[in-house]
Every structure is written in structure tokens, then in C-alpha cells.
Amino acid sequence: MNDTFTTYESKGTTSGSANIPQLGYRPRAPYQLDLEVFTVADLRRRGSKEKVRTTHRYEFHTLVCVTNGVCTQMVDFRSISCAAGSLLVLRPGQAHNYGHDENWDGWNVLFRPEFVLPVSTTPSDLKFAVDLERLPEHITLSGNDLGTVTDAIEQMREDTQIDAPRDDLHALLHHQLHALLTRLSILQGRQRTHEPVISPALQRFKRFQQLVEERFARWHQVADYASQLGYTEKSLARAVEAAMGMTAKAFIAARINLEAKRLLVHTDLSVATIAEKLGFGEATNFSKFFKREAGCTPAEFRQRQRASL
């Protein structure tokens, strides 16, 4: 994809093949920074409409801030209507599509996951780290807030062009990104400076969430996760309920179902192969699971979604 996105490297193939196209952050020389800022108009100029409209999974974080016009973007099979002031917070692993609308523009801010950590990672400084998981996927900015955010993004774009030592530029951009993410967190009312950074229950949930992300294709039972983490099933259930308002079993099922949807729509893998990749011994068991979770069979879901693309 280097002919389309100078900072991306395609690690998969095109839509309708064996894998969802996956993009890693691999800047080409001479660009060597861990953050890049460019407009949607820049993106269109870099490549064909077909490539820009292709659904991808990113290995990096992306902020998409709409500055004018309206559009409908897709994030993990959910359409999100956007207008000036809409800001999407896209996380690694999510399937994203900019949509077919062309009469809109905005900013893209790309950065590696590790770039959000503080420059100094001593224990006393960790309290300044921004928890991106606490930011909602879709933020609506208006008036002065939108102006302040876009000014910050434009300044970051200008500063990526400064002729200065790379370490100095990284430090500058790191602090600017931290300030931007913190501002977004404050605007959402999620920055609670008087509460503990993370409660014991939330710690349990986050460890569970990370393990589910690593093992969902192999482990389908809550007991497996509880045993690996050293928790009782009851304590794990309470932690997940407090954090997400659902059972631990439902959380695991939702993650499996999401991956199934991604593979059904963005690959040509057979239902049997998808079932095997997701840890189901029999395709019939996978089909029953999917119908229970999605309300239709895998084949029906694939057909409906592809017809709407």
C-alpha cells in the first residue's frame, strides 16, 4: 500500500481474499517519526478511490476528525454518521472504512500504540499516561472545542516538518499528542483526577480483556480465563459486570462474534474454515453460535453485508 499511504504497510491482501487487509505503521525514508498527520484530501490524492474505500485493520491508533461536510464511516460493521465536529477514535485491530462519501474533509492522526506512553516511565510519571480505552469511539465536538482540537492537530502537522533532531521532534510531538488526548478525555468527563488511577476490579477486568484478545480463538470458557488469571469465576464475573454491564461469558462470545463477522465479510474463507480458525470443532456448532449471537446464519450475514458495501 505504499503507493497509497506513505506511512502504511499492507500486511494482508485485498478485500475478498484470505485475510482482511492489515496495515502496519512503516514509514518510508526520510520520514522517521512515530506519528503522522495528514488530511483526508491528502489521502485521496495518494491513491485510487478503490484503495481508499477498502476496509482495513490497523496496527496503530487513528484519530479521524471531520472538519467539513458529512459522511458515513464504518467501524466493525457499524455505520457512524459524521459531520463537522465528529471525531472517531480507532484502535488497533478494528475494521474501518472511510465510506463512499467524497464531499467531506478532515484530519487523520496516526500513531503507534507505544507512543501514548509518557516519555519518562518512572512510577511517579505513570499517572500522566492517557487511557485510550476510556475514550468513546465517537466524540462530537462543537464551537470552541472543535477549533481548539483542530488547531492542535494543525500545529502537530506543522511541527512534523521542523528541521530538528528526531529525538527532539519525538518529545515535542509526544507531549502535544498527550495534551490532545487529555483534552478529549476531559471534554468527555472521563478524567477523574480525585479517583484512584485504576480500581482493583477494573484491574481484573483489564487483565481479562487483554487475555481474551489473545486467546478468544482458542478459549471459549470463562473457567479457562479465571484459572489463567488466578481469579475465581465469581470475582471475574463481578469485575466484568462492573466494567461492561455484561457477563464474562457474553464478553467472550461478543469478541468471537466480532471476529467471525470480520472474516465473513472481508475474506472469502469458507464457513468451515472460519469455524476452525475460531476454535469450533464442528462448523455446525459455529453456525448455531453465530445465529444465536447475530440473529442470522453466517452465510446470510455475509450476503447481506456484502450487498450493502
Report the pLDDT value the prediction gives residue 62, as an integer from 0 to 100.
Answer: 95
Burial of 137 (0-12, 13-18, 19+ CB in 10 A): middle
Count other Cβ atoms within 10 Å, centred on residue 31. Answer: 10
**Rounded CA gap, 215 and 225, in Å?**
9
Interval 98-108: pLDDT, tens: 998 889 999 99
200-308: what CATH class? mainly alpha
**Rounded CA gap, 251 and 234, in Å?**
15
Report the pLDDT value the prediction gives residue 130, as an integer from 0 to 100.
Answer: 65
Interval 254-281: pLDDT, tens: 999 999 998 998 888 999 999 999 999 9
Three-state SS letters, 278-292 = CCCCCHHHHHHHHHH
Helix and strand numbers, DSSP H then E, in the chain: 11, 11
Report the pLDDT value the prediction gives residue 1, as an integer from 0 to 100.
Answer: 35
Interval 20-34: pLDDT, tens: 677 888 877 788 899
Strand partners, 95: 57
The percent of residues in the chain predicted with pLDDT above 90, rounded, is 57
Distances 9 to 33, 36, 107 between C-alpha atoms, Å: 15, 14, 20
Q: Strand 56-58: give its sheet, edge to edge.
A: 8-10, 22-25, 56-58, 95-97, 71-75, 78-82
pLDDT class of 196 with cuts at 50, 70, 90: very low
Give the distance from CA 50 to its chain's centroid. 22
Pick the CATH number of 8-187 from 2.60.120.280, 2.130.10.10, 2.60.120.10, 3.20.20.10: 2.60.120.280
What number is the average pLDDT over the span 64-81? 93
- For CA atoms 216, 24, 87, 159, the dihedral sign is positive
What number is the average pLDDT over the span 188-205? 66
What number is the average pLDDT over the span 233-257? 94
What number is the average pLDDT over the span 218-243? 95
Domain boundaries, given as residue ranges, for the chain: 8-187, 200-308
pLDDT class of 138 with cuts at 50, 70, 90: very high
User: Which of residues 249 and 126 earns the better pLDDT score?
Assistant: 249
Regarding pTM above 0.95, the answer is no
